[in-house]
Structure 1
Amino acid sequence: MIKKIQQTFDQFAILKYVLRWFLLTIPVAIVSGSMVALFLFLLDQATLLRWDNEWLLYFLPVAGVVIVALYRFKGKNAEAGNNLVMDEIHKPGGGVPVRMAPFVLFTTVATHLFGGSAGREGTAVQIGGSMAHYIGKKLKLKKEDLRILLISGVAAGFGAVFGTPVAGAIFALEVMAIGRIKYDALLPSFLASVMADIVCSAYGIQHTHYHIDFHKPLFDSSSFLQFDPTLLLSVILAGVLFGLASFAFSELSHTIKSLSNKYIRRKLLIPVLGGLTVIGLSLVLGTKDYLGLGVTTADGSGVSIVNAFKAGGADTFSWFWKLLFTAITLSTGFKGGEVTPLFFIGATLGNTLATLTGNPVELFAGLGFIAVFAGATNTPLACTIMGVELFGGEHVLYYAVACFIAYYFSGHSGIYASQRVGVSKANFSYHLDAENTLKHIREAKKKKDNQGEQE
């Protein structure tokens, strides 16, 4: 009898917990979803304006100087972006400034208006994180509750910007530490992500729809195998290449940023050189396809994410050019996310691999779309779920295989330098522990390599 009474009280406590977090995440979802909707609207308008006025590209260096100067003199610690949000979640310190949201919103729009190759996820995550922190401070939440609300803000921004609320919730939990997920923020993240997506959609925002028209039975009635062994082998090999592409993007981005800060003394000169390089590459290649988001093009032809799902929709090295354009743009001071360019890189690489091997183009474009993202952010579970939300669940086995393998082959690298290492992917000769960030690991590896060269 006493045990049953205790269980009843437990259920009431759970109900109270659910209702409390439902109420706490409502303002985060409303504010984040609304700002993301505004951001996506402005981003579309900026893209259309640039398509109609191609001369805007030549002002990219000037825009870069303005962006860098704005953050340097007015942004304070907001310049750290996603890494600041992660650091604040792991070790609360100076907080996430509310100015981060408007700063990153308008500077990202400016980057796209003038032709920088960038994405939108970073902006949405920073909007969600800064708004959640502001609301949490106003409500005078305790540190642990504020941490959970911050994670919920990340989920809200991600879920709203891509229209993938379940993946948004898992992403916010998974991205904090490689190989380790704490479920204390599971319900708040899910609530915030779902409601933010609803709010964003209520403004009339339409997300791009992708289709995988390849249909093949997962099993032959005469076989015990519930998949196509030949196709699965191709997916495994593709997953390795997707992981290496993730690694290449992350390392090139960090290298460009490091070398720029090391050898260019006048910091305002860095975005000038970055902008001029992007302009020069566009002129040499004779195409504007690698500028901006890359979801589609002005006339619908050329190389884009949408066209990568069609045979002949990408050139052999389209993935490489987008990787280079984006690494230069984001590493020289321009603002925006990395994820949409990663979708481009993965989809076009998948298109190329399918063309070379005779595999279904739309399936491999979809696999690259999510797997390169999984490797670069170290979030294989969220990306597998994203595949289901975007493309349907028929090929979920192949989604998982591609994302999991890409995750391992991207190594201890990633686009978020403040991401912690909860569980090592493999045994390395340099020391890893739960307090290490990817930045610390990169520095430790570099130090070991330098010692080896000296010996």
Structure 2
Amino acid sequence: MNSDSKPLTLTESISYTFRRMLRSIPVAAITGTLVAVFLWSLDKVTDIRLHHAWLLYLLPFAGIAIHLLYKAWGKESESGNNLIIDEIHRPDKGVPPRMAPLILVSTVITHLFGGSAGREGTAVQIGGSMAQWIGNRLKVPADEIHMILICGIAAGFGAVFGTPFAGAVFAVEVLAIGTTSYRKILPPLFAAVLADYVCSTWGIHHTVYPIRKAIGGQNLYLCAMALLMGAASGLCGTLFARIAHHVKHLSHRFIPGPAWLIPFCGGIIIVLLSLLLHTSDYLGLGVYPQHPGGVSVVNAFKEGGAGGFSWWWKMLFTAITLGTGFKGGEVTPLFFIGATLGNTIATLAGVPVDLFAGLGFIAVFAGATNTPVACTIMGIELFGPEYALYYTLACFAAYYCSGHKGIYTAQRIHKHKYGKRIA
């Protein structure tokens, strides 16, 4: 029987929580350090790629290298974040320690050669695999291992984005739709705060996304537009999830020959798309512009900082990259997709561009992961609390409009979003 289901006295509850927090200290320290190494590495390889544009033409061969890397050592690590979520729900073989170096190295390779991917998935896998390894070293009981894995997710998420509160809530909210146990929140919050502190201590600085326009009081028109922005973001989030899943399914079905041919073909498609569009804006992370005036997350917060279909092209580049076997996260590309979509809608509707870029930034993520509370908190941590009402409206509208299938296939459906309980 899971220890979380046993009724505890106040003294037992305090002792139990304190013990979990102590266990999370080494998880946070190691995860924060590895995430710092990972973010530093991403900065370096991105700079190298920007100075050597020809590296993009080697992307197909980088895909083969990643495939061979996982074929030799990956095994169950190939499942990534879904493996961690599955292990939390139903512990089986555990999360292998080799997941951390594998995902770190393969994500760096993806970015060095121009693949469109993110960093959250990598950080979460680092946190989850290190949590499992530490749990095994500390001989954590089998019925408590799920909690240390949740702390690992929170530590990785909090450190990679500099949003520890959002990271802790995300770690418990992402597990299932329709039920979230907030009584588990203190240990992962402690882990996320500590991991973020450790990461920052290593000299890592996170991107600032300022929303500068002052809006006096509560504006009913902006509230209505925030709901519309959220609905569009939810549809966009579920579209991304579906395209990514379909790319993976179709590539395995229609690309004949050895398995390494799938990432090889995926790399060729990315190269061809970049050449056809005459831009490198949709390669890599996309947080900062690759040339003055280029499309990026940061520039999406400025008027004229995104083309009308920038969100679509980033979605396609990322779905092809990840769907054909390259490694990295989905969340930073989702930020790009949401921010550029928000910029486009704001320009058409005559509302503040920076505010709606911020709303799209968090709302597409909320729709794609079914985590509206975590994303609302992320908005407060990244953009400030002044517009918390608009964040909430956008994130929950995205959540309700995104259906029940997101980017994490291991996410359980406990209760239907619209009231029907799932058996």
TM value normalised by structure 2: 0.96
Q: Percent identity?
A: 58
| Aligned twin of 2:422 | 433
Contact 2:20 2:147 in 1 (8 A): no
Report whether the alignment pairs 1:238 with 2:229.
Answer: yes
Aligned pair partner of 1:407 in 393, 399, 410: 399
**Residue 142 to residue 184, structure 1, CA distance change in 2 (3 Å):** farther
Whole-angstrom CA distance in 1 between matches of 2:185 and 2:387: 26
What's the CA shift string for 1:130-183, capped at 9, x where partnerless?
000000011111122211000010000000000000000000000000121123
**Residue 294 to residue 184, structure 1, CA distance change in 2 (3 Å):** same
Contact 2:151 2:192 in 1 (8 A): yes
Contact 1:152 1:185 in 2 (8 A): no
Residue 23 of structure 1 and its aligned partner are, at CA, apart by 1.6
| Aligned twin of 1:323 | 315
Aligned pair partner of 1:228 in 219, 237, 258: 219
What's the CA shift string for 1:158-213, capped at 9, x where partnerless?
00000000000000000000121123431111110010000000000000000011
Aligned pair partner of 2:249 in 236, 250, 258: 258
> Within 5 A, what are the aligned runs for 1:163-242?
163-218=162-217, 227-242=218-233
Paired amino acid for 1:360 = P
Whole-angstrom CA distance in 1 between matches of 2:61 and 2:105: 15
Residue 297 of structure 1 and its aligned partner are, at CA, apart by 2.1
| Aligned twin of 1:396 | 388
Secondary structure in structure 2 of the residue aligned to 1:277: helix
| Aligned twin of 2:41 | 42
Structure possessing the higher relative contact order (Cα contacts under 8 Å, 6 or more residues apart) = 2
> Within 5 A, what are the aligned runs for 1:291-440?
291-426=283-418, 433=422
| Aligned twin of 1:120 | 119
Whole-angstrom CA distance in 2 between matches of 1:345 and 1:142: 42
Contact 1:240 1:409 in 2 (8 A): yes
Contact 1:349 1:368 in 2 (8 A): yes
Contact 1:30 1:199 in 2 (8 A): yes
Secondary structure in structure 2 of the residue aligned to 1:394: helix
Paired amino acid for 1:295 = V
Say what the alpha-carbon RMSD is for the aligned residues.
1.4
Contact 1:148 1:184 in 2 (8 A): no
Secondary structure in structure 1 of the residue aligned to 2:117: coil
**Residue 184 to residue 139, structure 1, CA distance change in 2 (3 Å):** farther
> Within 5 A, what are the aligned runs for 1:150-165?
150-165=149-164
| Aligned twin of 2:71 | 72
Residue 11 of structure 1 and its aligned partner are, at CA, apart by 5.2
Whole-angstrom CA distance in 2 between matches of 1:301 and 1:315: 11
TM value normalised by structure 1: 0.89
Is the radius of gyration larger for structure 1 or structure 2?
1
**Residue 413 to residue 11, structure 1, CA distance change in 2 (3 Å):** closer
What is the count of residue pairs matched by the alignment?
415
| Aligned twin of 2:91 | 92
Whole-angstrom CA distance in 2 between matches of 1:99 and 1:184: 31
Residue 70 of structure 1 and its aligned partner are, at CA, apart by 1.3
Question: Is there any run of 5+ residues in structure 2 with no aligned partner, and where?
Answer: 1-7
What's the CA shift string for 1:272-325, capped at 9, x where partnerless?
111011001100111101000000023443100000000000000000000000
Which aligned segments of 4 or more residues in structure 1 are displaced greater than 4 angstroms? Answer: 9-12
